[in-house]
Copies of this chain bind each other. A is one copy, B any other.
Amino acid sequence: MNVTFINPFLQSLLNVVSTMANMQLTPGKPRLKTDNLAKGDVSGLIGMVGPQTKGSLSITFEQGLILEIMQNMLGENPGNINEEVTDLVGEITNMVTGGAKNLLSDKGYEFEMATPVVVSGIGHKISHQAQGKKIIMPFVAPKGSAYIEICFEDQ
């Protein structure tokens, strides 16, 4: 995993949440994921396929944080993770991955994005299966945390 791959995803989530929900997330230090212990309540997942590599991305939110983002964006808070929330997580996943794709394309790394899938379930765990290092990037906000995980096949 090239470190070049990390910042575009991190920056892209900060941009999307700042622009759409007028919220500033505080990024923690990216680290190698050595277990499956990052748990969350709703996750967007997307596959990426390029000529140099392929891999997967997930963005996992704790319920309190995604409901606050929804409140800020749409002025409504359903109080739990309903279909509007899962659709929003799908959109955020697309936007974050698309933003990172553009930044990486400028550096010569190209990939195509599959379509996102959203998983909801309190305290679910995610295990990326690509044969490569798994990077986890934590983000914190007063109402809860979010995590981006990316994993690309080693070449």
Residues of A participating in the B interface, judged by any CB pair closer than 8 Å: 36, 43-49, 54-56, 58, 83, 86-87, 90, 93-94, 112-131, 151, 153
A125 contacts across to B, CB distance below 8 A: 119-121
Number of copies: 2
Partner of A126, one of B47, B117, B126, B131: B117
With a 10 A CB-CB cut-off, give which of A45, A114, A123, A151 has the most chain B CB atoms.
A114
For the complex of A and B, list the 4 residue pairs with the smallest distance between their C-beta atoms, beginning with the closest. A47-B47, A47-B114, A121-B124, A90-B129
Partner of A48, one of B114, B116, B128, B130: B114
Q: Are A55 and B115 in contact (CB under 8 A)?
A: yes
Q: Given contacts A47-B46, A121-B124, are A129 and B114 in contact (CB under 8 A)?
A: no
Query: Can you report 22 A-B residue pairs in the complex whose CB atoms are below 8 A from each other?
Result: A36-B83, A36-B120, A43-B119, A45-B117, A45-B119, A47-B49, A54-B112, A54-B115, A55-B115, A56-B115, A56-B117, A87-B129, A112-B112, A115-B151, A116-B129, A118-B127, A119-B121, A119-B124, A121-B121, A121-B123, A121-B124, A124-B124
